[in-house]
Structure 1
Amino acid sequence: MTKVFQLPTCPSNPETLPIGPQYPWLAPLAGYSDLPFRLLCREYGAAVCVTEMVSAKGLVYESPGTNELLMTLPEDQPLVVQLFGAEAYFLGRAVELLRQAGFGWFDLNMGCSVSKVLRQGAGAAMLGDTENILVVARAMIEAAGRGRVGFKLRLGLDDARPVLPDLALRLEDAGAGWLTLHPRTARQGFGGTAQWEAIASLAQRLSIPLLASGDLFTAADGIACLESTGASGLMYARGAMHNPAIFADHASLLAGRPVEQADAPRLRAMISRHLELARAHCPGKAALWKMRSVVPRYVRTLPGARALRQELCHCSDWEELDRLLDIYLGSHAERNT
């Protein structure tokens, strides 16, 4: 019997998205922002989460693995689906299919500088053909509705080929709901320093929200970026990967409270909750394999993190993982009492 491809249903996606300094978003993180991680970040205060990148062509052609990237729950709302691709037909059709499944908010990735994405003419490679971007944008907006599609941008392919502010203003006119700017060029990747002044300059030109991205490693970075750029809001990416509690830290700083120390008890509670969510929402051993790579990110600043990472490579069951964490984080807690 032929298996029927069925997109996951998105439950109760809201009619508006919270955007503002007090509403930090979780950025789309390929290989990281799966359902368990999104739920964890929401518990710490992420106002909106964006899925991992989903191939528009893969979705239309019913590629294996697409459904897993789109799995969601009522508590995983509001949710934005980030798509990538470079052809208007596939981007428009992907949005149509997702709308039929109940998803209401979409983002086009034009910031990814990973070579396998660039080879497809997608991600940041799209910045080399702004006329095609507008054709794609109109197809997505027609399928989703005005204001329901955001666009993730960089400054251009390189310093010699900037695309702002012209492209941003044309996307605004086409019906974009918001823009996100990572103020580096595609050639830079994640090298150098994010040019926050470019965010400030663009924010003054737009009437739709502009979200800031780039070099937001701590909540203090996020608050400083908002204050210096006038951006409508921001997305935490690498900062959230290393510390999902960055959203709680963000709220604390906005309220004038000190940030809670990332000590062993706090880390143990965060890791335990991530383990619980992964076991509940990832199939079979996949959750264990993923957590073996996640835990070292959370404890990377503590002494002995490298030794723990090596031991985790040989960990084959949840009991062993718990034992290693108890020993490692327990020893740190004892040293600080």
Structure 2
Amino acid sequence: MDYENKLVLAPMVRVGTLPFRLLAAQYGADITYGEEIIDHKMIKCERRLNEHLGSTDFVEKGTNNVVFRTCSLERKRVVFQMGTSNAARALSAAQILCQDVAAIDINMGCPKSFSISGGMGAALLNKPDLIHDSCSITCRRVADRPRDPAKWSEIADVVAALTIPVIANGDIFEFDDFQRIKVHTGASSMMVARGALWNASIFSPEGKLPWEDVKREYVRKSILWDNDIKGTKHTLKEMIMHYSCLELPEGKALIKSESLADIAKLYGEENYYQFVQENRLFNGSR
């Protein structure tokens, strides 16, 4: 994969599923990362072609639990992010899905206790014997939190010291910020997390679309790809909390929603939901 001059959707837990990745790509993201999935979980999966959806699903053996879902539309841009602390196990997991993704990334930056206690994420930074080259750099240290300013100047030092592509990440909230961080750091490409979560059209050089329009498009993609209801609700909650409040009618109705049909009704997409369901039944009966 070419990492030069790219706009990248960062990996986000419970957010970076197929609908959101396709949403970001629709607005201009060149590379889209999926949410981190642990190698232990991936090696318990089997690959299944989902004819009803047109997707490729990696399903936990003996269950219908979809661990990772992708499709041909994102084949050349999706990056699978893996949590691991063991090279052999990571290789086994990678071999299961390598033909269906553009690249596989090892998480070496997550500061959360779950990752660190398992020897994953930022814990790998203390094990240089397990690490070779890394091509993505976050602008925060392990102890830093999102509210802390991103350290763009430190990324510039990293870029100057390396010959491999560096992807800079941190405090990108408007399209113009992509160019600002590129100029400031000299990084090859730019990655955004929160700015994309709050409004995925941040990737559009023509400017952000209205929040309500982006939110509704995410709902439609969640319906189309039969996204997990918990993940859909989580992503919508995060969108709402940035611009509004979950205590208002929309937030309360979202919390009470128990299915994609409920969410479709909440956002005025009942007809689209019905259209998708009818077409699946029709195609499935042929």
Give the shorter-chain TM-score range.
0.7 to 0.9
- Secondary structure of the residue aligned to 2:82 is strand
Residue 91 of structure 1: aligned partner: 90
- Secondary structure of the residue aligned to 1:41 is helix
Shift of 1:67: 7.5
Shift of 1:81: 1.2
Residue 298 of structure 1: aligned partner: 239
Count of matched residue pairs: 251
Where does structure 2 lack aligned partners over 5 or more consecutive residues? Answer: 46-58, 269-286
Tell whether 2:51 aligns with 1:109. Answer: no
> Does the C-alpha gap of structure 1 residues 208 and 121 become closer, same or farther in structure 2, counting only changes over 3 Å?
same
> Does the C-alpha gap of structure 1 residues 66 and 184 become closer, same or farther in structure 2, counting only changes over 3 Å?
farther
> Does the C-alpha gap of structure 1 residues 192 and 68 become closer, same or farther in structure 2, counting only changes over 3 Å?
same
Distance 1:133 1:54 in 2: 19
Distance 1:324 1:98 in 2: 36
Distance 1:267 1:183 in 2: 27
Distance 1:315 1:71 in 2: 23
Tell whether 2:211 aligns with 1:267. Answer: yes
Between structure 1 and structure 2, the one with the greater Rg is 1
Shift of 1:318: 5.5
Q: Do the aligned residues in 1 keep the contact of 2:122 with 2:142 (CA within 8 Å)? A: yes
Identity of aligned residues (%): 24
Q: Do the aligned residues in 1 keep the contact of 2:11 with 2:34 (CA within 8 Å)? A: yes
Alignment of 1:74-223 (within 5 A): 74-77=72-75, 78-99=77-98, 101-134=99-132, 171=133, 179-223=135-179
**316-325 or 208-217: which moved more?**
316-325
Q: Do the aligned residues in 2 keep the contact of 1:82 with 1:109 (CA within 8 Å)? A: yes
Distance 1:115 1:66 in 2: 29
Q: 1:277 aligns with which of 221, 225, 247?
A: 221
Residue 329 of structure 1: aligned partner: none
> Does the C-alpha gap of structure 1 residues 42 and 183 become closer, same or farther in structure 2, counting only changes over 3 Å?
same
Distance 1:29 1:241 in 2: 9
- Secondary structure of the residue aligned to 1:226 is helix
Q: Do the aligned residues in 1 keep the contact of 2:109 with 2:122 (CA within 8 Å)? A: yes
- Secondary structure of the residue aligned to 1:190 is coil
Shift of 1:195: 0.8
Where does structure 1 lack aligned partners over 5 or more consecutive residues? Answer: 1-15, 135-170, 253-258, 327-337
- Secondary structure of the residue aligned to 2:105 is strand
Residue 38 of structure 1: aligned partner: 21
Shift of 1:69: 4.0
Tell whether 2:268 aligns with 1:312. Answer: no
Distance 1:66 1:132 in 2: 34
Distance 1:311 1:66 in 2: 28
- Give the partner amino acid of 1:213: N
Greater strand content: 2
The two structures have a TM-score, normalised by structure 2, of 0.77
Distance 2:102 2:7 in 1: 19
